[in-house]
Amino acid sequence: MDDIKIDKIIRTRRRTFALEIKSDASLIVRAPEHASYETIQKIVYKKRFWISEKQKLAKEKYKKTDQKEFVNGEGFLYLGNIYKLFITDKTYPPIIFDNNSFILSSEYVENAREVFIRWYKKQAYSKISERVARYSSSSGIKYNKINITNAQKRWGSCSIKGNLNFSWRLIMAPLKVIDYVVVHEIVHIEEKNHSRKFWDKVKIILPGYKKHKNWLKENEYLFFF
């Protein structure tokens, strides 16, 4: 039993247990709030073969994510689409996106990863702020402020003060997937847990949220380079 690592336990008012294997092969256990650690271990042990198989598949999938090279023709995600990178000797800003491709000034090639991240962060703040304002207005749920973070495992979060936090990596996802994460966090301002009431509110604001939620779960490994 000791060789099965539980990476995170989330206790809520739920009555049942749920196991989730993330894209990085980590194991998340969702349990009733008063469930003992011993009980959780027994559940995990009972499901050990299922866990092992799912973690194996997750690791194989993650390995298929190629390490990005900042060279001509390399593809980079933006709003769910892949755009090729072209390097120019002309004196340009560090990076330009012309709606068809990324253009990187050759003098910034050595620091290309940092250049891309700065660009992604700027776009994330602009686009996500726009979506938050839209869904805040349509739902009538007010928020405090928006922060863009470096989080790798949490696409969004909501603070007790109504601050909304989003990972910059989210800007690589399709707009509707971004909308799902935005709506998810906006609803958390009023509903602090993932109760039926919470999901009902999400569904009212974004009826097709399940499809976008599943897309994120299946493709989040693509957001790393």
pLDDT tops 90 at residue 67: no
**Residue 61's pLDDT is what?**
73
Task: Give Cβ neighbours of residue 55 (< 8 Å, ≥ 6 apart).
Answer: 21, 25, 27
Percentage of the chain beyond pLDDT 70 is: 96
Cα of 121 vs its chain's centroid, Å = 14
pLDDT of residue 217: 87
Query: Residue range 171-195: average pLDDT?
Result: 96
Examine the pLDDT at 140 and tell me if it is beyond 60. yes
Q: What is the pTM of this model?
A: 0.78
Q: Say yes or no to pLDDT of 121 above 60.
A: yes
Residue 222 banded pLDDT, cuts 50, 70, 90: confident
Q: Would you state the pLDDT for residue 1?
A: 45
Residue 92: pLDDT band with limits 50, 70, 90 = confident
Q: Which domains, ranges and CATH numbers included, belong to the chain? A: 8-63 (no CATH), 75-116 (no CATH), 124-223 (3.30.2010.10)
Return the DSSP state at 143: -
Ramachandran sector of residue 170 (left: φ over 0; alpha: ψ -120 to 50; beta: rest): alpha
Residue 183, number of CB atoms within 10 A of its CB: 27
Of residues 26 and 143, the one with the higher pLDDT is 143
Give the confidence band of 63 by pLDDT, cuts at 50, 70, 90. low
